[in-house]
Structure 1
Amino acid sequence: MRLVNGLLQLETLFLPSYLASLSFFPHNPTPFVKVQDNICTVIPSGGDDSSAIIAAFQLCSRDATVVFSNATYHIEKVMSTHGLRNVTVDVHGTLLWGTDTDYWIKNSLPLGYQNQTLAWDFGGDDVSWYGHGYGTFDMNGQIWYDLANGTSNMYGRPINLVIRNSTNFYMSGMRFVQSAFWTLTTHTCQHVMFEDIYINSTSTSGAPTQNTDGIDTFYTNNATFRRWSVTNGDDSISPKANSSNLLIQDSQFYGSDSIAIGSIAQYPGVFEFVENVTAERIYCERCKYPAYIKTWTGVQQGYPPNGGGGGLGYARNMVFRDFVVSDLTVAGAYITQCNSYIGATAQCDSSTFTISNITWSNITGTVANSTLAYIQCSGSAPCEDIRLLDFDIKTTGGPFVNCSNVELLGVSCNEPAP
């Protein structure tokens, strides 16, 4: 390590052995990091900046700030930055991911759930991350939409950023555009907050943008999502396995699946839960639903991510209130316990995963069909205490409330849920 014109130049010979051995460090790296007063500023090189970014978080891992200037940083390799304590991340520029899909498919890091992978594994305690409304992640998603071309959960499509093993994590003002797969994920986290987040993943070709979720949570307790704007082709915010005490407020979703509880119960014999979720003051335009719940059937067929079933557990204590919706494409409220990518249509009453104490209230707007609600619960574990209150949704016909195996309050079923 040596100073050159005020910049800290890192050479392989002087890197800690556990860093030098990692595959994402080339043999002759030239990362540059300016270090001053516990501030590490990453200097864009015009080439691959991933090694410099990793080095900056190693040098400023405690009681420090990592700064990305108002410039473009090129990310060509996977990154893992963990063990941070009391660190501020200050993003003024754009982090642009490379287009070598073969590299990402072969080298993206494991999430540890559903056989998904990721580009940047990030973790620490008391971390504050600021994007100022213009700091940007750009994953060059169009190449992935065209490559997958409708293949669900294509292996190797990396999640942008995973926050893992973290407590007291805060992010605000970040922009995420053209996500390759899921945009964000929390995994094994407590007390996390994401405010003023902008996500836009849209395709300029005929290939759909499926699997471009805004955020998915796993093993996460006490999380707040406030003032999000999401335009994508899949779930906007999706609490999954062992997520609890979540608050979603004052957000806008466009052309998405909106708030998705699950899917869950995908692993046979494994107990999982989602509980204590409140979503309020949400605007949905051209979404499929305001909020919905989906579980796998009780019979395993295939393996994750595009197969499974037979999981145990519960989803309970959820409130979706004060939604304004425009031209929903499926229904004003939706539950299905028949999730299966390989067509297990004969097993829809087999799940013993329980769903209870779920309320949709004060939902106003329009549905672009005749279905006000679709509630399909398993005959092996009927849903209990499901409420649809103060629905003021105009449909194009009906309105129909399709139900099966449910204790429903507030409206009456008038058609079975097939």
Structure 2
Amino acid sequence: MRPSFLMLASVAASAHGLVLRHAGQGGLVHQNDPDALSGSISYTRAKMPSLRYWREEAARADRRLCVLNPDPDGGDSGPAIEEALTGDCRSKSLIVFPGDTYHINSTMNTTTLDDVIIHQYGRLLWTPDIAWWLTQSMPVDFQNQTTVWYFGGDKVHWDGHGFGTLDGNGQVWYDWAHGRGNLPRRPMNINYRGFNNSVVQNMRYVQSQMWTMAVTYSRNVLFEDIYVNNTSTSEHGTLNTDGVDTVYSDNITFNRWSVTNGDDAVALKGNSSNIFLYDSIFHGGQGVAIGSMGQFAGKWEYIENFYARNITLINTAHVSYLKTWSGHPNGYPPNGGGGGKGYARNIVMEDVYIEGARSQPFFAWQCEHYEGDSGKDCDSSEFKISDVLWRNVSGTARDNVVHSGTFQCSAGAGGCTNITVEDYRVTQKGELFNRWKCMNVHDNSGFECNNDE
């Protein structure tokens, strides 16, 4: 029997008008003007359309209407959400989350959705029980990364209307990690997995447990008007709180993102192609990451056709950086590895503004190695980096930054080729910041390497 908070309504049009069929226990409670939520993150609720409106919308589109309310006693809403999204609401449905807060204390696997529309107005809040989640998190098939929610399917449209929120209760995780990276079983908030021909828009992702999300084995997806904020209120930082990572995915577009975090805003991992990023702003963290790559010995990977335009970065380490592991394996992933092969090419960023860069705005590094040995084996990688363009980049770098660009490329891969910087206007202390350090860089354009400085 379904938990009482879930109300399924199958709507069908007939010659005699609407027929509403209910399943499950309890009544559907619709709140037109709920109280605002309080807490360290400010939540504002939309004034939602009426139940009558949703009935009419479902009937007009010949869809099943599923209205999912939180557990009335504040219990775990996860099992009923999973049951709905894998059962009666899985296909050709209109799904509404009208409640304030849905407490989540169980993993969810909802990867077979087909032609559904989701409207979310409240917050899904994961419980802060670290010991529990470390035993329950599910593998993402990359490094030792795990998640608490597999979400996927075909032709899904998920709209948060600027209020729908996934809240990982991340502060407990930041304090627990004590700045240590890639801790086993520490989960990301959501893994969009096998997610195709779909749209996610107007959503908020806050205080994620680790990475905010990974997009894996997915194709033709638009993420638009997305807000990410993973901020610590203690002395412990937010390492590993990436905004989004792509793995084994193609034709993924990120449009109008705002990311505040302590790591990569957007990161492309192995076998990512045709990734597009537009009209976004990033605060803190590392900037845009291409990699890391070549971490898995003997494995072939590629990253190609990344295009970004109109990007603002405030107090980030870099505009973007490309990172591969060395060619000699040392240790094991996630904090060790190396020896992988492949290529990264056709990487373009243009119309970029960076304010207060904390390190070199442009960075390529092929020396990633086991903890303690990083930077000691820079010429063994056979992972090829080529055809990289930064165009129309302006802004400022902090006074203590030494180089505007550092390119430590591997001789074993034939170096980096065709690296271009055009219309560059980043300043330091009021003057053009124009110091470039290069190793094994060929066919570069728009800058001169001055390694003696």
Are the aligned partners of 2:8 and 2:68 in contact in 1 as well (CA < 8 Å)? no
SS of equivalent residue, structure 1 residue 380: helix
Match of 1:43 in 2: 69
Could you say if the C-alpha distance between residues 5 and 79 of structure 1 is closer, same or farther in structure 2, counting changes exceeding 3 Å?
closer
Structure 2 counterpart of 1:194, which letter?
F
1:349 to 379, 398, 403: 379
- Secondary structure of the residue that 1:102 maps to in structure 2? helix
**Matched residue, 1:19:** none
Q: Deviations over 1:307-363 (max 9, x none)?
A: 110000000011111101100011121110111242333211110000000001110
Distance 2:310 2:418 in 1: 23
Instruction: Name the one with the larger strand percent.
Output: 1
Query: Which whole-Å CA distance do the structure 1 matches of 2:446 and 2:8 have between them?
Result: 65
Are 1:411 and 2:441 counterparts? no
Kindly report which structure 2 residues correspond to 1:348-387, keeping only aligned pairs within 5 A, or say none: 348-368=378-398, 369-381=401-413, 382-387=415-420
Query: Is there any run of 5+ residues in structure 2 with no aligned partner, and where?
Result: 10-23, 29-53, 59-63
SS of residue matched to 1:59:
coil
Structure 1 residue 400 and structure 2 residue 400: aligned? no
Post-superposition shift, 1:83? 1.2
Summarize the Cα distance change of 1:387–1:42 in structure 2 as closer, same or farther, 3 Å threshold. Answer: same
Instruction: Quote the offset at 1:4 in angstroms.
Output: 7.8
Partners of 2:308 and 2:234 in 1: CA distance: 33
Give a deviation string over 1:359-381, Cα, whole Å, max 9, x none.
01110011112311111100111
Q: How far off is 1:33 after superposition?
A: 9.2
CA contact (8 A) 1:33 1:56 kept: no
Q: Deviations over 1:385-417 (max 9, x none)?
A: 011111101124864211100112111000169
Q: Which residue in 2 is equivalent to 1:205?
A: 234
CA distance in 1, matches of 2:245, 2:369: 19
TM-score by length of structure 2 reads 0.84
1:150 equivalenced with 2:182 (yes/no): no
Measured against aligned partners, the alpha-carbon deviations of 1:132-177 in whole angstroms (never above 9, x if no partner) come to 0111111010000000011101112111111111211210000011
Q: Following the alignment from structure 1 to structure 2, what is the Cα–Cα distance between the partners of residues 117 and 226?
A: 26
For residue 388 of structure 1, the aligned residue among 384, 409, 421 is 421
Identity of aligned residues (%): 43
In 2, Cα distance between equivalents of 1:127 and 1:8: 19
Q: Is the partner of 2:376 in helix, strand or coil?
A: helix
Equivalent residue for 2:259, pick from 230, 235, 239: 230
Contact 1:56 1:66 in 2 (8 A): no
Is the alpha carbon distance of 1:245 and 1:121 closer, same or farther for their aligned partners in structure 2, counting shifts above 3 Å?
Answer: same
Q: Which amino acid is 1:141 matched to?
A: G
8 Å CA contact 1:159–1:184 kept in 2: the answer is yes
Give the total of aligned pairs.
397
Q: Is the 8 A contact 1:319 1:359 kept in 2?
A: yes
**Cα deviation 1:236-255 (Å, max 9, x = unaligned):** 01111100011100000001
1:313 corresponding residue in structure 2: 342
Counterpart secondary structure, 1:132: coil
Query: 1:70: how far off?
Result: 3.6
Corresponding position of 2:105: 76
1:57-115 Cα deviation digits (max 9, x unpaired): 12211100221114100000111012111011211000000011011111101101111
Q: Summarize the Cα distance change of 1:7–1:359 in structure 2 as closer, same or farther, 3 Å threshold.
A: closer
SS of alignment partner, residue 134 of structure 1: coil
Using a 3 Å threshold, how does the CA distance of structure 1 residues 4 and 324 change in structure 2: closer, same or farther? closer
Kept in 2, the 8 Å contact 1:2–1:8? The answer is no
Give the structure 2 partner of residue 330 of structure 1. Answer: 359
CA-based RMSD: 2.1
For the 8 Å contact 2:6–2:25, the answer to whether it is kept is no
Conservation of the 8 A alpha-carbon contact between 1:32 and 1:42: no
Do 1:387 and 1:409's aligned partners in 2 also have CA atoms closer than 8 Å? yes
Gaps spanning 5+ residues in structure 1: where?
A: 10-29
Q: Given the two structures, how large is their TM-score scaled by the length of structure 1?
A: 0.91
Partner of 2:126: 97
Q: 1:77 to 1:394 in 2, by over 3 A?
A: same
| Cα distance per residue 1:277-311 (max 9 Å; x no partner) | 00110000100111111111111111111111000
- Partner of residue 241, structure 1: 270
Letter in 1 for 2:437: N
Cα distance in 1 for partners of 2:452, 2:27 equals 63
1:39 alignment partner AA: L
**2:6 and 2:80 in contact (8 A); partners too:** no
